[in-house]
């Protein structure tokens, strides 16, 4: 979620890009909340509340396999993101994202040829000392 938070902190000059990023960040935050709710239900199903620690659960040994299977199944759920990938060339200089953020958000960006992953443009690599 750190890379999504970086998108939320971005202040692009383009109103269209600001709108698109805002929609993506809102969607991601909503999905994270939905995942947290589902995780809590899974914990309630297989665990026991820890006394004096609201929201904390202990998973008894006899329930761990079922909990792990449920967690794996939950994490394998695919979601469809709103919007089309963003051509990284159109945001050159407009987003102050780290190399790690671009790597984590590779699914969101394409390069100028439409290839997924986007990466960093040539001028962005020059500004960051050639890091990819």
Residues 104 and 5 sit within 8 Å (Cβ to Cβ):
no
pTM of the model: 0.68
**What span, in angstroms and rounded, lies between the C-alpha atoms of 74 and 46?**
14
Query: What is the percent of the chain with per-residue pLDDT over 70, rounded to a whole number?
Result: 83
Residues 29 and 5 sit within 8 Å (Cβ to Cβ):
no
pLDDT attached to residue 117 = 63
The whole-chain average pLDDT of the chain stands at 82
The pLDDT tens digits of the residues spanning 26-81 come to: 998 999 999 999 999 999 999 999 999 998 999 999 999 999 999 999 999 988 87
**What span, in angstroms and rounded, lies between the C-alpha atoms of 11 and 95?**
7
User: Which of 11-15, 49-53, 93-97 has the weakest average pLDDT?
Assistant: 93-97
**What span, in angstroms and rounded, lies between the C-alpha atoms of 49 and 51?**
6
* Alpha helices (H) along 1-93: 2-9, 15-46, 61-75
pLDDT attached to residue 122 = 43
**What span, in angstroms and rounded, lies between the C-alpha atoms of 51 and 73?**
28
Residues 75 and 62 sit within 8 Å (Cβ to Cβ):
no
**What span, in angstroms and rounded, lies between the C-alpha atoms of 84 and 77?**
20
Q: Does 92 score more than 70 pLDDT?
A: no
pLDDT attached to residue 65 = 97
Between 8 and 115, name the one with better pLDDT.
Answer: 8
pLDDT attached to residue 69 = 97
């Amino acid at each position: 979620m750190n890379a999504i938070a970086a998108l939320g902190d971005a202040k692009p000059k383009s109103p269209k890009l600001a709108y698109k990023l805002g929609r993506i960040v809102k969607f991601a935050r909503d999905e994270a909340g939905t995942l947290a709710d589902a995780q809590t239900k899974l914990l309630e199903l297989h665990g026991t509340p820890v006394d004096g620690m609201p929201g904390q659960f202990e998973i008894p040994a006899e329930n761990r396999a079922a909990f792990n299977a449920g967690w794996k199944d939950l994490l394998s759920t695919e979601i469809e993101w709103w919007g089309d990938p963003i051509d990284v060339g159109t945001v050159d200089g407009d987003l102050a994202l780290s190399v790690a953020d671009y790597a984590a958000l590779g699914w969101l960006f394409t390069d100028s040829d439409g290839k997924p992953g986007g990466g960093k443009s040539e001028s962005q690599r020059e500004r960051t000392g050639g890091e990819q």
